[in-house]
């Protein structure tokens, strides 16, 4: 299937070039294809494509392939060189005993971008913690800065409760000013928390995402990345905690050319994600935005049926159908969760750049090639 996909791509870019300039163009296009081509294998094996092929409907199958092309080369999607993985929901508690940290600069980041993944992993056996690096003193509702800080702190606690997380740790750096802090200080605090809580998995912003104008996002991500430490780093901590290393990281992505190598199914957890965003009433695109819109429309003698007849329904449906879907790119700067899942046969999904343990081939090599002496 990959060979056929490559053949189709070669036909598009023109295999039979003759001039050096044309050959160079072809090589550059092949490089782009290698970054995205593995996604073709994932999609062409998806339920959407298989169903079309099995039915014998060539038009439908061709349409599915065209949808893939649009997805692969869409400016909002850039796949990494890693093989694209679709992480589906699992039954039972396969992750029992593992610990995650959902790390956000602001009270609304995890609910907006990773609420589905966090809820999924908690359901599958993880114990989890929520870490917020700023105090949100410059964002959200409140008649004073202190009132805004308190409101955001209350929202964060409620978000953690809804997502099933054990505890919130607030590092309380100034909002939108975290770049004035020495990053080694932030990293050291993360290292201590990783060791104390024995964190295995981290969910946070991609530290190397381009075109992010908020220092709180990329400084938090880079401090987390730097906390991927060796056994003897920050030795003064070892009188209180034992060495511990993170084994996997999920970096959530926003609008722009960011690497993606994992599509996570959140269909069974999207309603939990909605409720977590409803808890963020102080800031963010969720909260009570639906009921406020419902009232504004009523004042003009208008009504959106999707918002229902009461405030709670309006807030819930606004977040699920407008914030996470219809107007997602405007409100969240990221594609619709429904649209993300669609090419892979998933009703709702989130996308990530995943970095996990690299499997060693040495044991397998030894088993096959070792001889007795």
The DSSP 8-state label assigned to residue 321 in this structure reads: I
Sign, Cα dihedral of 151, 152, 153, 155: positive
Nearest to 105 by CA among 188, 228, 206: 206
Confidence at residue 84, expressed as pLDDT on a 0 to 100 scale: 87
Give the model confidence (pLDDT) of 89-98 as tens digits: 999 999 999 9
> Left, alpha or beta for 80 (phi > 0: left; psi -120 to 50: alpha)?
beta
Token pair recorded at residue 64: 């599915």
Give the model confidence (pLDDT) of 242-253 as tens digits: 999 999 999 998
To the question of pTM greater than 0.85 for the whole model, the response is no
Confidence at residue 7, expressed as pLDDT on a 0 to 100 scale: 37
Helix (H, G, I), strand (E, B) or coil at 224: helix
Number of H helices, E strands in the chain: 14, 10
Confidence at residue 139, expressed as pLDDT on a 0 to 100 scale: 83
In order of 171, 220, 278, 359, the CA distances from 136 in angstroms are 11, 14, 18, 40
Token pair recorded at residue 77: 């999607």
Helix (H, G, I), strand (E, B) or coil at 240: coil
Confidence at residue 157, expressed as pLDDT on a 0 to 100 scale: 98
Give the model confidence (pLDDT) of 79-126 as tens digits: 555 678 999 999 999 999 999 999 999 999 999 999 999 999 999 999
Residue 152, Cβ neighbours under 10 Å: how many? 29
Sign, Cα dihedral of 115, 119, 124, 129: positive
Helix (H, G, I), strand (E, B) or coil at 130: strand
Helix (H, G, I), strand (E, B) or coil at 166: coil
Domains by residue range for the chain, with CATH: 2-73 (no CATH), 86-265 (3.40.50.10320), 268-335 (no CATH)
Which strand (E) or helix (H) includes residue 99?
strand 99-104
User: Tokens 């994932």 sit at which residue?
Assistant: 42
Burial of 356 (0-12, 13-18, 19+ CB in 10 A): middle
Burial 191-225 (b: 16+ CB within 10 A, else e): bbbbbebebbbbbbbbbebeebeeebbbbbbbbbb
Sequence length of the chain is: 373
Query: Which of these ranges, 48-52, 53-57, 142-146, 332-336, has the smallest mean pLDDT?
Result: 48-52
Q: What is the chain's alpha carbon radius of gyration, rounded to the nearest angstrom?
A: 23
CA atoms within 13 A on the CB side of 321: 12
Whether 50 has a pLDDT exceeding 50, the answer reads no
Average pLDDT over residues 329-340: 94
SS (H, E, C) 69-82: HHHHCCCCCEECCC
Confidence at residue 254, expressed as pLDDT on a 0 to 100 scale: 81
């Amino acid at each position: 299937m990959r060979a056929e996909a490559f053949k189709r791509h070669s036909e598009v870019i023109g295999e039979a070039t003759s001039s050096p300039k044309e050959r160079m163009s072809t090589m550059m296009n092949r490089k782009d294809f290698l970054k995205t081509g593995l996604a073709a294998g994932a999609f062409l094996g998806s339920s959407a494509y298989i169903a079309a092929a099995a039915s014998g409907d060539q038009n439908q199958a061709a349409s599915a392939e065209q949808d893939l092309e649009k997805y692969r080369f869409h400016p909002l999607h850039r796949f990494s060189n890693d093989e694209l993985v679709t992480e589906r929901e699992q039954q039972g508690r396969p992750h029992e005993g593992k610990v995650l940290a959902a790390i956000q600069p602001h009270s609304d980041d995890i609910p907006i971008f990773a609420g589905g993944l966090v809820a999924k992993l908690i359901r599958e056996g993880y114990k989890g913690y929520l870490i917020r690096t700023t105090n949100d003193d410059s964002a959200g509702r409140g008649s004073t800065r202190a009132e805004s800080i308190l409101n955001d702190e209350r929202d964060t606690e409620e978000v953690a409760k809804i997502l099933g997380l054990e505890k919130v740790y607030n590092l309380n750096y100034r909002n939108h000013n975290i770049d004035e802090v020495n990053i080694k200080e932030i990293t050291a605090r993360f290292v201590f928390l990783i060791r104390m809580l024995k964190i295995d998995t981290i969910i946070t912003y991609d530290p190397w995402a381009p075109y992010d104008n908020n220092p709180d996002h990329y400084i938090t991500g880079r401090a987390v990345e730097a906390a991927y430490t060796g056994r003897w780093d920050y030795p003064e901590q070892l009188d209180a905690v034992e060495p511990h290393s993170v084994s996997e990281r999920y970096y959530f992505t926003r609008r722009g050319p960011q690497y993606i190598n994992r599509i996570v199914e959140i269909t069974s957890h999207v309603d939990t994600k909605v409720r977590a965003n409803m808890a963020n009433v102080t800031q963010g695109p969720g909260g009570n935005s639906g009921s406020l819109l419902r009232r504004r429309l009523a004042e003009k003698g208008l009504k959106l049926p999707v918002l229902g007849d009461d405030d709670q329904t309006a807030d819930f449906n606004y977040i699920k159908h407008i914030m996470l879907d219809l107007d997602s790119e405007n409100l969240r700067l990221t594609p619709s969760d429904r649209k993300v899942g669609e090419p892979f046969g998933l009703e709702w999904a989130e996308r990530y750049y995943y970095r996990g343990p690299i499997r060693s081939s040495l044991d397998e090599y030894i088993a096959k090639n070792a001889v007795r002496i």
